[in-house]
Chain A
Amino acid sequence: MSSQTANTRLFGSQAFQKRFSVAIRLIIALFLILFSIFPVLWIISASLDPANSLATQKIIPDNANFMNYNRLFGKDPNFAFGELFYWRWWFNSIKIASISTVLTLSLTTMAAYAFSRLRFAGRVTMLKAILLIQVFPNLLALVAIFLIIFQTGEIIPALGLNTHAGLILVYMGGAMGINIWLMKGFLDTIPRDIDESGMVDGASNWQIFSRLLLPLLRPILIVIGILSFIGTYGDFVLARILLRKVEDYTLMVGLQLFTAGQFDRKWGVFAAGALIGALPIMIIYIALQDQIAGGLTTGAVKG
């Protein structure tokens, strides 16, 4: 290192070259940032443009105000978009994603405990089978999923089509995928001395799991929890085929409604709705980007 600094000091032109290259790269970075955030700036501007129209929108809107946000609350009597259930949809999404996340975490943590700490016949086979099965996410079989939930609903209407419970059940079918591997890998790094100290004190498996190990799992619980929440919150197709009544939609299915008919006349309201819908997720991502990046490279894929 020290010889390098000496070099830079000796050859001033090299230092200049370095600074020049940094400057060029900063300019490129500026362009890339523009490319990345332009759609976001554009949608912010659209949400503040009371004209509510795709055709006349400018990057800096005339008479910017929060009219489009008020329209989401249904406060504009002149706005004839039929019925808008924005806050119902938003609440549905948060509800479904939260319940699914809690259930996913419970199911995977317990299963991963058994895979990591207990030894039993079929353990390795099961682990490999789970890895193979998660290659086929259940949305690939969407027709069958639809028919199964339809049939279930003919027997127990509370779990059938058009129920949030049915949708959550379907999400649970995908709970035990790569998450088990992530969780088990993390559990494997926790020394077994901890378990053994518990056993000496006469603790049962359940006590060891819930009192000793669970608190140590916090970091991986956060990663899996966030990925699962984001995945469920952003799901479109399963919610689209299983939920039929407009007021029962999730936010993603509801937002898609805007594209039907005269999309260009609802552009501003869509923009306001999209921003409110995207914000929670963007905040989570940006606040926890390092943790999530770690989790990503080991498993989940997006984009």
Chain B
Amino acid sequence: MTLATKSGTWGIRGPSESMFAVLVRIILIALFDVGVIWFVSNAFAKGFTQLGIVLIVIALMINAIFLLQKAYPYRWMAIGLSFLILFTIYPMLFTFYVAFTNYGDGHLLTKEQALPLILQEKYLPEEGKSFSWTAYRADDGKYALWLVDPSGATFLARQDETVIPAQPGDPGIGEPDGKGIPQSIEGYTRLNTLLAAADKTLPTVLFGAEGEQTVQIRSPSAAAELQQRYIYDEAADAVIDQSNGDIYNNVEGTFATKDGKTIRPGFRTTIGWKNFQDFLTNPALRGPMVRILLWNFIFPTVSVLSTFFLGLGIAIMFNDKDFPFKKIIRTFLLIPYTIPGLISIIIWRGMMNPEFGIINRTIENWFGIDGPPWTVEAIWAQTAILLVNLWLGYPYMMLVCSGALQSIPADLYEAATVDGASVWAKFRKITLPLLLVAVGPLLIASYVFNFNNFNLIYLFISGGPPIAGASTQAGHTDILLSYVYKLAFESGGRGVQYGLASAISIVIFIIVGAMTLFQFRFTNMWEEVSENV
């Protein structure tokens, strides 16, 4: 079947396309390109190099697809492909990049952005050019200084305004007293030496406009101009502190001295395998990580098995063509499936509240004992989550099992009955194997889904209760994905750590990839799919 596209050519114009249509297409592409160029140049300027490169790749693809007649079929999917690249493929690649960086609090900027901030910093030198000063104060609490430098030149310095050369008698400046200091300045009252010396805020005030010459009071007799504190030595990739001569070397994105002093902000940079090594060598990370990983396998295993067998049991029980009220029963049993997951999970969270929840209140009323400390003790929290997931998950299993059961030929059972097989034997030798062929891939898919069932874990009790001795927000019911979320977005004051979080994301990718490979191998799904294309 070779419908449609007449075998493609490399030309721009389609077989039955008017010149006008071609022109419109080229103009639209040109407009798109202008937009992309503007975006990409901005991205590069802000240090988002990777994002810029991806946009260039997408733009090249779009240009090729819409300009070459041979690529015509791809026009039907060009936009979808662009989204797929930008928001599914690129995030994965970007995760790999971030995993090898120190991206996170304190390391959010690029080096190009961080250095100017560092070099902006000023200090008050002990020596060097100094002024004698006289202070004035305005009613709103602002100060002004009259400065005299050693050569006798005079200046007026106010807060947030440029320091200007000035003479007594200039507009707004009063007449000089015996020492040549103006007696008043418009809007300000002169402070006598005693008052000025006793003023506690005065020595902390910076005079001068931001980014320009700045003056600060150093002692009762002298004020001095602030100097740039740090100087960057490009050859050594080091920062030198002018005030005391300390040398700060670039250590994995932070300028630090040998004895451990650092300058903020740091900047983001690649740091090799450090994020991964941390998990292997740092006990405060390794211990919780092992627990989380273990639970991350227990949770989906138990969930899939429990939901599958409950669902299957129900499906078998009502797998009777003329069972009364079959349709109504099914509708009722499907209800857990129809409620948005988040809502059911929060409802269960309320019902399982150890103190006020209906479950523990009922246990107390009926048996006179305290109910289990769901959400407080690790083992009970895990049990609670498995129970909730059983409720959430069994209707789906029931649905797929009852579908698969109907496809098992009835004569197999009849033949087995003739041979005198027991009910159990029929179930084990006929039902289960044939059922697994049909629902096997769905079981694996459900396993993968639960492996990353962030909503249940996070919404039930945010992965808690916390693991003692962990240096991060790790909890006993956390799975890898919820742990990633906490590292990146809910650090609890410990500073977000995108690099560390991405390193764990990569572990998730690898495990999910391996499970999918297994699914394709184990179930012949890939071969079936290949035949159907």
Contact = CB atoms under 8 A, between A and B. Distances in A.
A114 to B, nearest CB: 4
B340 A252 contact: yes
B25 to A, nearest CB: 14
A176 B83 contact: yes
A236 B530 CA distance: 34
Given A28-B317, A108-B80, A259 B459 contact: yes
B332 to A, nearest CB: 4
Nearest to B394: A303
Number of contact residues on B: which range applies?
35 or more
A258 interface: yes
Interface string B363-388: 00000000000000000000000000
B392 to A, nearest CB: 5
B83 A259 contact: no
A282 B338 contact: yes
A25 B318 contact: yes
A119 interface: yes
A103 to B, nearest CB: 9
A117 B331 CA distance: 39
A150 to B, nearest CB: 9
Interface in B231-278: none
A10 interface: no
B522 interface: no
A2 B39 CA distance: 76
B80 A120 contact: no
Contacts of B72: 118, 120
Contacts of A139: 452, 454
A152 B76 contact: no
A294 to B, nearest CB: 9
Contacts of B346: 255-256, 258-259, 270, 274
A173 B3 contact: no
A144 interface: yes
Interface string B1-26: 11111001000000010000000000
Contacts of B1: 119, 192
Q: Main secondary structure on chain B at its contact with chain A?
A: helix
A144 B337 contact: no
Nearest to B349: A259
Interface stretch (B136-144, B220-228, B442-450): B442-450
Contact of B91 (A46, A128, A141, A205): A141
Interface string B514-533: 00100000000000011011
Interface stretch (B127-135, B163-171, B206-214, B351-359): B351-359
Given A143-B502, A205-B4, A296-B399, A128 B338 contact: no
A148 B331 contact: no
Contact of B76 (A114, A132, A145, A285): A114
B5 A118 contact: yes
Nearest to A130: B84
Number of contact residues on A: which range applies?
35 or more
Interface string A129-141: 0111101111111
A264 B343 contact: no
Contact of A172 (B87, B353, B513): B87
A233 interface: yes
Contacts of B98: 143-144, 147
Contacts of A130: 84
Contacts of A170: 87
* Most B-side CB within 10 Å, residue of A29, A33, A128: A29
Contacts of A131: 529
Contacts of A263: 349-350, 353
A190 to B, nearest CB: 13
Interface string B70-97: 0011101101110110111111101100
Given A25-B317, A133-B89, A143-B98, A303 B337 contact: yes
24 contacts: A33-B332, A55-B355, A118-B4, A119-B2, A135-B513, A136-B88, A136-B92, A138-B87, A141-B94, A142-B485, A143-B95, A154-B48, A155-B43, A169-B87, A173-B87, A176-B77, A176-B80, A237-B454, A237-B458, A281-B340, A285-B338, A293-B399, A302-B449, A303-B389
